[in-house]
Amino acid sequence: MSEREFDVIVFGASGYTGKLVAEYMGKEYGNDKSIRWAIAGRNKDKLSSVKKDLNLNERVSIIEVDSTNKDSLDSMTSSAKCILTTVGPYQLYGSSLVQSCSENGTDYVDLTGEPGWMYEMINAHQDTAKKSGARIVFSCGFDSIPFDLGVYFVQQAAQEKYGKPAKHVRGRVKAMNGEFSGGTIASLGATMATLKEKPELIQVLSNPFSLTEGFEGPAQLDDSKVLLDEKLNMWVTPFVMAPINTKNIHRSNALLGHAYGEDFCYDEMMIAGEGEEGKQIADAMNSSNPMGGDNLPQPGEGPSKESREQGSYDVLFFADFDEGSIEARVTGDMDPGYGSTSKMIAESALCLVQDCEDLSGGMYTPAPAMGDKLIKRLTKNAGLTFDIL
């Protein structure tokens, strides 16, 4: 793809998250003449305003794209090595773009947390992507990079220490300070609407192995109710992103040739605290709806710069063995849904283009696609940390 005009096109750059991605690209790579990138969307005037507001380099091109027109999409995807898209909900606005990238041998990264749609895209386009060489990588934001790479990271440490992977990894969200994006909330609404039209997807959403293409692993711990984590001596409560992250992690294991084992179990929950007080907090968290209320952000809306910069997250991963546990920690320095996510997806796109020459075409999750290369980029550039404690 060396003859392509652009390395990366940020599609949806006039939207809230897309503008954050463009801002990050301009700040971190604006003076790097070796990276050829552009911003794209359906409204050229809005894109021009974004370019002016962010003071982007003149070299950054503006591309007007009609996402409902295949020729328009094909023109964009055939001009780039990688399309970075923030235009969701993806089940409403992303299917034609995945098809176009798959057919034109163009790499692709998104922020989807929509496993039903991912299931459909894998079934529809995997063979085409493999043939064309397109590397399609889903879920390159808070869902699911810190979790997918966190499990990958702790399992590497387990392999190094014990010569084998852990059969069971516990993901425990210690802290998460920030807001859910309007896009995440809209995706949930779109999923519920889709289930009415396609009730067969209910089984996909309820099965932790729905993205492993026929492989069915062992029964998993029920992480949908409050429980006492006896190894931590802490009460833990269901984590809203677990149904998405768990499916991606099991897909990663399958794509890695079951590097974690065919009997691998993973559960993901949020730490509430110790003792009776911890139990009360866990119950209260479980009974509340983090995506409910009257003042929810709409797609294209989000928190202030100050709020984004005050946000953070801290996630622990425990690889359990009879001899003990290996504990890893992944942190992010900005709010998960916007600030950190915009940096993660930008680095994912650049990682594919610059660091993954040997990766063959197909439909991926972050860990098997980019693994250590992406961890290195995220720790160097994007404010994440990966540590063994």
pLDDT digits 0-9 by tens, 176-203:
988 666 666 666 677 777 777 777 778 8
Answer yes or no: are the C-beta atoms of 313 and 332 closer than 8 Å.
yes
Q: Which pLDDT value is given to residue 200?
A: 77
Q: Which pLDDT value is given to residue 309?
A: 87
The stretches in the chain having pLDDT less than 70 are 1-2, 179-188, 289-300
Sheet containing 362-364, strands listed edge to edge, beginning at the edge strand earlier in sequence: 61-64, 37-41, 6-11, 80-85, 107-109, 135-137, 362-364
In whole angstroms, what is the distance from residue 318 CA to residue 69 CA? 47
Residue 116, SS3 per DSSP: helix
Q: Which pLDDT value is given to residue 298?
A: 66
Q: Which pLDDT value is given to residue 303?
A: 79
Q: Which pLDDT value is given to residue 175?
A: 94
DSSP 171-236: EEEEEEES---HHHHHHHHHHHHHHHH-TTHHHHHH-TTTTSTT---PPPP--SS-EEETTTTEEE
pLDDT digits 0-9 by tens, 242-261:
999 999 999 999 999 999 99
Domain annotation for the chain: domains and CATH numbers? 6-141+340-371 (3.40.50.720), 145-335 (no CATH)
Phi, psi of 81 (to 5 degrees): -75, -35
